[in-house]
Amino acid sequence: MRIDRLLANQGIGSRSEVKALIRSGAVKVNGETVRDPGAPVDELRDAVELRGETLTYRKYVYIMMNKPAGVLSGGGGVPTDKTAAMLLPAAYAKFDLSPAGRLDKDSEGLLLLTNDGDFVHDTISPSKKVKKRYFIRVGGELTDADREAFEAGIILGDGTALKPAGLEILKAEGGLSEAVVTISEGKYHQVKRMVLARGKRVTYLKRLSIGALSLDMRLGPGEFRELTEEELEIVKSRG
């Protein structure tokens, strides 16, 4: 990798600003001053210093967030909408993070943000059959007939046939229900539409897990942390 590209990728400055820094003699590679912006550097092995401070190169970032309601997972809304990436410190902006599997604006829970495209594909691609679990509150009482319908595969109002899903009913009384739904797809508003197909309505939804990776329940709404190496292996092995 070119030294100017490495520094720009690390958010040191624009490409032109980085080139000026290099030409001024502010950058060293393995203890030697480098003044050529096009000089090659091994980002994983070479020691790069800027004004005497050693830089640690990070190619990918993986973040677990407890997404709050009212926040978009990614872009695509109106200009005034707040996105999950906006909840992160400015230092993360240089990584251009994207969600690995979106959550609806009014939904909460586990959201993974990363700049690793292969990771995103492996997490959300239907061919990977990654299971996702959601806690839901429902207007209406869920029944064993609903559970059996989920297990057989719900057919939506538009004729879309969904794969079998799990429905664990936690409570169903007084016209209200609580349950955990497990799906291996990720169609638009899928859980809500599945429940609606059974004549009931989801009033609250929170994603609990993706594969074997569960939301850190110590994270409050809007809080986040980077994945540990162990958690990263869990997701990459698809739990």
Could you read off the pLDDT of 113-170 as tens digits, one per residue? 999 998 888 887 777 788 999 999 999 999 999 999 999 999 998 999 999 999 999 9
Mean pLDDT of the chain: 92
Structural domains in the chain plus CATH codes: 3-55 (3.10.290.10), 62-127+216-236 (3.30.70.580), 131-210 (3.30.70.1560)
What tens-digit pLDDT sequence spans the chain (239 residues)?
A: 899 988 987 778 888 999 999 999 999 999 999 999 999 999 878 999 999 999 887 888 999 999 999 999 988 777 788 999 999 998 788 788 999 988 999 999 999 999 999 888 888 777 778 899 999 999 999 999 999 999 999 999 899 999 999 999 999 999 999 999 999 998 889 999 999 999 999 999 999 999 889 999 999 999 999 999 999 888 877 54
Query: Residue 113: which H helix or E strand, with range?
Result: strand 108-114
pTM over 0.85: no
Handedness of CA 142, 128, 130, 97 (dihedral sign): negative
Catalytic annotation, residues: 104
| CB count in 10 Å sphere of residue 182 | 17
Handedness of CA 98, 99, 101, 105 (dihedral sign): negative
Helix (H, G, I), strand (E, B) or coil at 94: helix
Q: Are strands 108-114 and 201-210 parallel, antiparallel or unpaired?
A: parallel
pLDDT score of 238 = 58
